[in-house]
Structure 1
């Protein structure tokens, strides 16, 4: 094979691998946003109570940490992607199970309203990350950093709702974390780094 053809083949393979990694990260981050929205919808409908949502947020935090660890080197291997897919499948099944069990919540209670607000913000921020991956404004390393921050937010939500009650002070602490995270998402989406 001639040198120009070999070079063209290598460039094509490299671009395909980069495109595949971007597609994997895009699919993974979009799934995060979708699952957060499913939790929010369950709270709004009363299918989830605050404690159930808190347990689901703890599981989401674990998935976010897995994503952060997998992407910290800027790459997502097939094995890492399979582990994350498996973890997301388990959370998805648990969301379904919790929404369809005998327990219900009162979507009009103060605790549920506070949890709804923080989970909706979480869903919005996960969607902003997914959009940044799709439009190329976020690199995998930036996504790793942001998912680590999302894990912190999810853990704070899990702690706040573990007893079935989210106080105004707990909501304020979660919102402060989310404000910080929102600023990081904005900064990383608008810096000079872009997906190659």
Structure 2
């Protein structure tokens, strides 16, 4: 009887730990969605210029690379969670600082509309990753791999926006990267891998 009670207690503890790790990963992905949404809102309102949005996308790329590295083994330690939280807090502060620095831009310019569309696509991709984690079709390790792909997309957006103007050719290159990432997400969610 005591053995069964101990086994039950250990099983319950393992379930709580697994849920905690999944929740931590889901929380970091949800913060990605929230920060991308804030960038999009800043572009729509004109509070963020295209160049500022590009700087923020460079920072988001760094966060995605960090997530990828930290999730390589499928787990987030307390130290790894703290590093991610600190990087995301810095990004949140940078978004606020840039939104309130007095620089404004036309939200209706071609470049602003292109950047806004790219950021909206990032939101959609991060939501798909988050949904895959929640429904078990993505393991934390797979989320880490997909975050590396998101980092590449964000980097392309940052490069395209570095001078405050996104040319048609740059937009085509970004769209190509977005399509590749979309296909990766679809493949990982439907390959039968799932939660680890």
- TM tier, shorter chain? over 0.9
The aligned residue for residue 12 of structure 1 is 12
The aligned residue for residue 143 of structure 1 is 143
Q: Following superposition of structure 1 onto structure 2, how do residues 57-68 of structure 1 map, counting pairs within 5 Å?
A: 57-68=57-68
Q: RMSD of the alignment, in Å?
A: 1.1
Q: TM-score, normalised by structure 2?
A: 0.97
Q: Following superposition of structure 1 onto structure 2, how do residues 83-162 of structure 1 map, counting pairs within 5 Å?
A: 83-162=83-162
Q: Which stretches in structure 1 are left out of the alignment for 5+ residues?
A: none
CA distance in 2, matches of 1:30, 1:102: 28
Q: Secondary structure at the match of 2:73?
A: coil
CA distance in 1, matches of 2:25, 2:139: 10
Give the drift of 1:133: 1.4
The aligned residue for residue 169 of structure 1 is 169
Q: TM-score, normalised by structure 1?
A: 0.97
CA distance in 1, matches of 2:112, 2:105: 8
Q: Which stretches in structure 2 are left out of the alignment for 5+ residues?
A: none
CA distance in 2, matches of 1:49, 1:135: 36
Structure 1 residue runs of 4 or more that deviate by more than 6 Å after TM superposition: none
Q: Following superposition of structure 1 onto structure 2, how do residues 179-190 of structure 1 map, counting pairs within 5 Å?
A: 179-190=179-190
Give the drift of 1:2: 2.5
CA distance in 2, matches of 1:175, 1:96: 27
CA distance in 1, matches of 2:131, 2:99: 27
Cα deviation, 1:20-55, whole Å, max 9, x if unaligned, reads 001101111011011111101111110100010000
- Asked if 1:23 corresponds to 2:27, the answer is no
Q: Secondary structure at the match of 2:108?
A: coil
Cα deviation, 1:51-91, whole Å, max 9, x if unaligned, reads 10000000000100010000010111111001100100110
CA distance in 2, matches of 1:29, 1:135: 14
